[in-house]
Structure 1
Amino acid sequence: MYLQHTIGKKVKEARLNNTLTQQELAERCSLTKSHISKIENGQAAPAVATLSKIAQELDTPLSWFLESNLHNKLSIVKSKDKKLKIGNKDIGYTYEALANRPRFSKVEPVIVTVLPEAEYVTPFTHSEDEFIYILNGSINLYYDGELHYLEQGDSAYFEGNTPHIFISADKNKEAKVLTFFIQNTPL
């Protein structure tokens, strides 16, 4: 719940810094004003696809919304202190930020736990490239309309602006995926 409120405050801060109303942000993200309001007030936990769209429209790295403490030069997150989780069985994932990085970091490391009960949902896009490494379990990665089966030890690197989604390949076991979102830098 704490992270939900933190994310909401950050969405509001970034929205106001971009001089957008809730309605304008909602329209840009194909959401309702009510949903944006619930996110900002900590009453709703956004799916990563939703948060990614919001981040893209606000020109803010996704990682900035997921972190709770900012450190400028060094970020250490002890295993026993990890409390940064967002998501639930309704969206099919939980996310755990691995580094409390400054707002404009180019790389965002996250552990995604893919819940076995997750249903196939519409693939989504985001502005960051994505690298995934399967820590345990197995997933079905749907990328640009094609199915790719990945299991422990497998990895993939892909452009986030192509429709994609991954779900657990085993309906009885969750999968853990080390994910890096990488900001594209124009040459």
Structure 2
Amino acid sequence: MWKERITINLNNIGAKIKQMRLRAKKTQQQVADECGISKSLLSKIENGQTASAIATLSKISEALHVPLSWVLDDQEERDLVILSHTNRQFKVGDDNMGYSYELLANRSRFTGIEPTIVHVTPRDMNIRHEAYTHSQDEFIYILEGAIYLRYEGKQHYMEKGDSAYFKGDKPHLFVPVNNEPARVLTVFIDNNL
């Protein structure tokens, strides 16, 4: 049911972010200010010294005008992407974030749709309370289990087969129900491309 966990290569993510920042001729301080994070955190991300929330990486990718999945994916870009479920890597977020995720396609950095599966992992409910925001709209479909979608201060119960579409710039968070795991198909949609 759950696949073997493979750790994200933080150095590769950091190198891509740094490469695109330099290409955009922006300083670390400029990108950090645009994203509402510290220059120190951005430096640690660029140097592969820390994992970061997907929402933070999304803000950075937006500031650099590249899709989040391009930053996260180690694979070469192709016109056609067919990815067998047996070959898909299970990528892990920081346990303190309460989720991990799988990229469903290696796409061009210039497309505006990013499909992923978010694994809402059992955790101590006290670990994270602050919601995430990012610039993309978000579509979610509950594949397995149940979650509470916290959106703009309200909590919505969602179970297998339920879906939602919402603005990512509004505070939101996926929370496991009864501390049980859930799988959520998540599609980030950048309407600015």
Answer whether TM exceeds 0.5 for this pair.
yes
Do the aligned partners of 1:127 and 1:184 also contact (CA within 8 Å) in 2?
Answer: no
* Counterpart residue number, 2:153: 145
- Residues 1:161 and 1:40: Cα distance change in structure 2 (over 3 Å): same
Instruction: Tell me the distance in 2 between the aligned counterparts of 1:45 and 1:185.
Output: 27
Aligned residue in 2 for 1:70? 76
Q: Which 10-residue stretch deviates more, 137-146 or 26-35?
A: 26-35
SS of residue paired to 2:142: strand
2:142 and 2:170 map into 1 onto residues whose CA distance is: 20
Q: Deviation per CA, 1:153-182: give whole Å up to 9, x if none.
A: 1111111122211111221x2111010011
Distance 1:180 1:80, change over 3 A: same
Task: Note closer, same or farther for the CA distance 1:49–1:145 as it changes in structure 2 (3 Å cut).
Answer: same
Compare 136-145 and 19-28 and name the one that shifted more.
19-28
User: What are structure 1's unaligned runs of at least 5 residues?
Assistant: none
Mapping of residues 8-157 of structure 1, within 5 Å: 8-83=14-89, 85-117=91-123, 119=125, 120-157=128-165
Is the CA contact (8 Å cut-off) linking 1:125 and 1:163 kept in structure 2? yes
The one of 179, 182, 186 aligned to 2:189: 182
Q: CA RMSD in A?
A: 1.7
Question: CA-to-partner distance for each residue in 1:115-166, whole Å, 9 max, x for gaps?
Answer: 1205342122211111101111111101122111001111111111222111
Ranges in structure 2 where 5+ consecutive residues have no aligned partner:
1-6
Structure 1 segments (4+ residues) deviating >6 Å: none
For residue 22 of structure 1, report the CA deviation from its aligned partner: 1.6
TM-score (ref. length: structure 1): 0.91
Quick check: 2:8–2:91 contact (8 Å CA) kept in 1? no
Aligned-pair identity in percent equals 48
